[in-house]
Amino acid sequence: MSGGVGPTCNDISLPSEEAQGHENSHPNPLKPVPSAAHSSPSRFLTLRQLNCLAVMIITAASGMVSLEDIVFLLFSIVYMYLLLKVAFPNINSPKDSMVFDPRNKILRLYVTVGAIVGLYLPVAYIFEGILEGDKEGIQAAAPHVFLLASQVFMEGLAFSDRFSIPVRVYVPVFYNSRRIFTLVEWLRSNQAF
């Protein structure tokens, strides 16, 4: 309390005074109230994207990924930007769409199954290959893991507020269609042994 004047900005007060003070108080002018537009700051790269970027760099630097897959990644970045600027500019806010809503049960199921089948099993296969010394098996699985990490990285970029729904849909469709070919090559290399 401050000399009988009443509670001030950050003064100590009794609980009954706090209840009265909250009813009649104004927000602290020293602490701005976050608006709905600025409530959560968006980062350029999330932890998930940084992890995927690390996997991409490690697999590419180790020589287990072909130049064709690296060029595919670079092409997809340029093509996604061209789609955004030429074909599908972001006119409407993507927050209005429920297509990629995190509460969507089908989307959560797709992401969970995709993570188990597409990421955890190939990574376990690569670790098994490291323990057993199976270099051919590791080289066959590495392009798939590289493309999946690239897809997760690109989805993180595309699922920001800057991109329209068609551009956001482009990333999983484009990468899944490319990964089908790497999976076929992986199966062929395993059948040869």
Give average pLDDT by consecutive 10-residue segment, the chain, 193 residues. 51 53 50 44 74 90 92 94 88 62 80 81 86 87 90 85 84 90 83 67
102 plus 134 within the same structural domain: yes
What gap in Å lies between CA 188 and CA 64, rounded to an integer?
17
In this structure, is residue 109 part of a structural domain?
Answer: yes
79 plus 119 within the same structural domain: yes
Domain carrying residue 140: 47-191
In this structure, is residue 41 part of a structural domain?
Answer: no
61 plus 96 within the same structural domain: yes
88 plus 118 within the same structural domain: yes
Structure token pair of residue 73: 């990644």
Alpha-helix runs per DSSP H in 83-120: 105-115
In this structure, is residue 82 part of a structural domain?
Answer: yes
97 plus 164 within the same structural domain: yes
Are residues 145 and 119 in contact, defined by beta-carbon separation less than 8 angstroms? yes
In this structure, is residue 161 part of a structural domain?
Answer: yes
In this structure, is residue 154 part of a structural domain?
Answer: yes
N-to-C CA span, the chain: 82
pLDDT of residue 192: 67
52 plus 124 within the same structural domain: yes
In this structure, is residue 40 part of a structural domain?
Answer: no
pLDDT of residue 31: 47
26 plus 120 within the same structural domain: no
Please count the structural domains in the chain. 2
pLDDT of residue 40: 46
136 plus 179 within the same structural domain: yes
pLDDT of residue 116: 82
In this structure, is residue 42 part of a structural domain?
Answer: no
pLDDT of residue 32: 47
28 plus 52 within the same structural domain: no
In this structure, is residue 6 part of a structural domain?
Answer: yes
pLDDT of residue 14: 55
pLDDT of residue 34: 47
11 plus 70 within the same structural domain: no
Structure token pair of residue 144: 């798939």
11 plus 71 within the same structural domain: no
102 plus 144 within the same structural domain: yes
pLDDT of residue 29: 47
| 132-154 as b/e: b if 16+ CB within 10 A | eebeebbbbbbbbbbbbbbbbbb
